[in-house]
A and B are shown apart, each in its own frame.
Chain A
Amino acid sequence: MSALQRLFKFHGGVKPAYNKEASTRLPIAVAPMPASLVIPLHQSIGGMPRPLVAAGEKVLKGQRIGGADGNVSSAIHASTSGTVVAVEMRLMPHTSGLSALCVVIEPDGRDEWIARQAFEFRSASPGQTRDFLRDAGVVGLGGAVFPSHLKLNAGKHGKLDTLVLNGAECEPFITCDDVLMRERAEAIVNGAVIMREILSAERVLIGIEDNKPEAIAAMDVAAAEANCKAGDAAIEVVSVPTRYPAGGAKQLIRVLTGIEVPHGERSTDYGVQCFNVGTAYAIYEAIALGQPLISRIVTVAGNVAQARNYEVLFGTSMKDLMALCAPLPDSDRIVMGGPMMGLLMPGDSVPVVKATNCILVGSQALFPPPPPEMPCIRCGDCAKVCPADLQPFEMYWFSRAKIFGKAQEYNLFDCIECGCCAYVCPSRIPLVDYYRFAKSEIWAREVEKEAADVARERYEFRLLREEREKQEKAAKLAAKTAAGREKAAAALAEAVKPAATPEEDAKKALIAAAMERAKAQKQEVHPENTADLTPEQQAEVAAIEARRAEIREMAKPHLRQDD
């Protein structure tokens, strides 16, 4: 760790009670094998993987049971060997209380691995490496579960200045990264070395909040070793001031490099990319050991007799895991994540998934219900602590009044829902709830509008198709009556002539569109061509845009005729 590293400040932030000691007293324990594993197929941002197994099939540990759906998706694996007893809808670990498709596995107790093989990423193309990581199911383990292969992309410059590893772990109660860094620093740093090579990054900065001296010490040693081996000083462990949300990717990038990546832009365009330390560990395991992502470290803390970190197989029910820590009798809720941003769970039967960094057991005593909401007194405390430099009370005002356009003008979508504003508000206004509400309303409206647009385009396209079919019928009839095959061939040849009639234009457009589509599909199989792939939403938007462009393209000649 270098004392010379210059740090930057981010605006705002708060210092809540950290409550991290209880779960760091004991080392990581391996959670016992549960009687059954319920593995949701959809565990990352992006497309939902297709099930690759059916009830009754035998699976091995690490066997792929869900295949990535396109490039913006990530595979799912069996966490142990056993028998698939069902592929069915089960309750998901999400506040909405919705169910989704899960593979239910009954472990056979042998815990038998598939054949594992290290991946020679040095001799592979970047695209192959990304495919490998996608199929190994590696996603961001800081909680956002963004497919990592999409981020292992140096962007339009082909190389990066800085690879940032996020070990800040700023949320209270959560210590899974802390203990991982203490106990498995070397593997994390090895992961960083691999990522650095893939990204051609100049240097690696590992940011850790200064309330984790043990983790910093362990990572320092590992980084020094790696630097020694490589003969340079590219990897540096940086202790950053403890202040929530220093572990937000954008905040950490800002603290370490001074760069502010604006909302909706790619950090790679600014020469930076940020990964969680847990993700670095998963990448190491996948590439160096050939092990897909089937487990993670989970902190169990809060209203329990013995808080601790466990290495947990995905699909283990939260109930089984919590039982190891003896929740106290007055426990009344389970939160996945920390107290600032965590999600309330719909019950204890839900499984541990890739996004589960912490299971926080709550009680009325630990998290008392807030006193009644008072009117906003415009004290500005919320603005003082907002790490996105927003004016939360203005957004609140307009969200509450349902003047969503105005809320957006005040940059509602720059809000990272960190909860700092609600945390300090003396009027106890659940500000973040209002933002979530406003965002979902705006999304819903946009989807509606989109649907209306698509419907209109569909209608236009149908008109076009009917017209075309009529003409084709006429052409066929003409071909039959006039003469045999040669004439038809001549007609076909005619169709390719430059002086095309509108309907032939349409045909050509169709062909072009089909080729476009084929090309797009090819791109999905060969991710090298998607070098500039943006975050997931943008990718989805692009796909939708492409589809709509196709339809528009097809409809164009027809429309022109109408004019």
Chain B
Amino acid sequence: MLNNSPYFLKPASVQSVMLRVLLALLPGIAAYVWFFGAAILVQIALASVTALAAEAVMLHLRGKPVMMFLGDGSALVTAWLIALTFPPIAPWWLTVVGVLAAIVVAKHLYGGLGQNPFNPAMVAFALMIVAYPSLMSQWPGVGFSDLAPQLNAIFGPRQLDAITMATPLDALRTALHTPEARATVAGVLGSDASFGNIGGKGWEWVAAGYFLGGVYLLQQRIITWHMPVAFLATLLVISGGFSLYDATRFAGPSFQLFTGGAMLAAFFIVTDPVSGCTTPRGKLIFAAGIALLTWVIRTFGAYPDGIAFAVLLLNIAAPLIDMYTQPPVFGHKNKPAARP
């Protein structure tokens, strides 16, 4: 006979965790739709269906109970994050291939839920940006939010010039840090009204939406404060420092924080528990490391955004960081000396 205390459990499940993560993404998605049109919803649907189908096939092949694992919602979270990090007007197959790479390779070939050493969504992003750098760099500008041309871009023969533009992050990087650059931050950002003032027009609202969702996750205790705070603070300090040093060549913190996927990363990507650090100090180091690398890659690298690479690099280091940051156990902290 087995003794299996505790006999009652808190009503918590992987499913409820994942569902709340999806819920937390909604405000950001709403802002996204408002500023950039409904294409993102099409992408999310596309990614979700692909992810569920791939998950079901992989579970079946691996001889796992399909319905039980399919219901856990983890594939959906991966799918949504991929859709939200890819350009909303990316051709449909780009999203599908990205999701397949995440679910089949990054997740199931590594052993499925809980076993993947790399963040699946970031694996998808990194692979696709290496393979199709131009497709991954075509983002719609604000005001080009009509569904018809966007759908056309996703499914039909692509005539993109009318609706795309370089993202402010991309424009900045090419303008400032390519050898022949003469431009300044103010010059680049001021050159196009649609870049907005903070992190690119519209994007700051999307970022605000993610932030709201992040606060919800914190309140629900699904994530702890360590990673978002370390990530954002590091980005803030380092970009703040460099922009103080030379504001013409380095974009300031508000730009860095509200642009690209910084907010999404801070609350939803860096915080992926499976592939990240778990000890409190480890989490701080992990997230700060990602922020540092992100800034470096954004500023000096060859790719438009560096978060994916930064995350993958730190994923490799996570087990080691965890090992060296084990918190002291009960009775071994500020150990009161036994009386003489």
Contact = CB atoms under 8 A, between A and B. Distances in A.
- Say whether A associates with B: yes
Nearest to B65: A372
A432 interface: yes
B215 to A, nearest CB: 19
A370 interface: yes
Nearest to A416: B330
A29 to B, nearest CB: 26
B335 A377 contact: no
Interface in B1-35: 1-10, 12-14, 16-17
B1 A97 contact: yes
A16 B8 contact: yes
B278 A383 contact: yes
Given A260-B336, A270-B338, A378-B273, A391 B326 contact: yes
Given A265-B331, A426-B14, A426-B16, A377 B338 contact: no
Contacts of A16: 8, 10
Interface residues of A, number: 67
B6 A378 contact: no
A423 B8 CA distance: 7
B1 A95 contact: yes
A96 interface: yes
Contacts of A430: 4
A270 to B, nearest CB: 6
B68 A250 contact: no
Given A426-B12, A426-B14, A374 B72 contact: yes
Contacts of B278: 378, 380, 383, 391, 393
A13 to B, nearest CB: 12
Contacts, number: 154
A425 B14 CA distance: 9
Interface in B208-223: 221-222
Interface in A278-314: none
Nearest to A427: B14
B274 interface: yes
A269 B338 contact: yes
Nearest to A19: B8
Contacts of B113: 374-375, 377
Contact of B5 (A271, A341, A426, A428): A341
A436 B331 contact: no
B114 interface: yes
B196 interface: no
A339 B8 contact: yes
A128 B328 CA distance: 41
A95 B3 CA distance: 6
Nearest to A378: B273
Contact of B10 (A14, A95, A254, A343): A14
Contacts of A217: none
A390 B222 CA distance: 19
Contact of A423 (B6, B72, B326, B338): B6
Interface string A335-348: 10101111110100
B3 A343 contact: yes
B326 to A, nearest CB: 7
A148 B221 CA distance: 42
Contacts of A254: 330
Interface in B76-124: 112-115
Contact of B7 (A269, A335, A426, A436): A335
B279 A391 contact: yes
A341 B14 contact: no
Contacts of A263: 329-331
Contacts of B13: 371, 374, 426-428
A187 interface: no
A367 B279 contact: no
B74 interface: yes
Contacts of A366: 8
Contacts of A393: 278
A538 B6 CA distance: 28
Contact of A428 (B3, B9, B17, B339): B9
Contacts of B112: 375
Contact of A372 (B2, B68, B328, B338): B68
A260 B7 contact: no
B115 to A, nearest CB: 7
A432 B114 contact: no
A371 B13 CA distance: 9
24 contacts: A11-B330, A16-B10, A95-B1, A95-B3, A261-B331, A262-B332, A339-B6, A339-B7, A362-B7, A377-B17, A378-B274, A380-B224, A383-B279, A384-B221, A384-B224, A389-B329, A389-B330, A390-B329, A391-B327, A410-B326, A423-B9, A424-B10, A425-B12, A427-B13
Interface of A: 10-11, 14, 16-17, 95-97, 157, 250, 254, 259-263, 265, 269-271, 335, 337, 339-344, 346, 362, 366-368, 370-372, 374-381, 383-384, 387-391, 393, 410-411, 414, 419, 422-428, 430, 432-433, 436
Interface of B: 1-10, 12-14, 16-17, 65, 68-69, 72, 74, 112-115, 221-222, 224, 273-274, 276, 278-279, 326-333, 335-336, 338-339
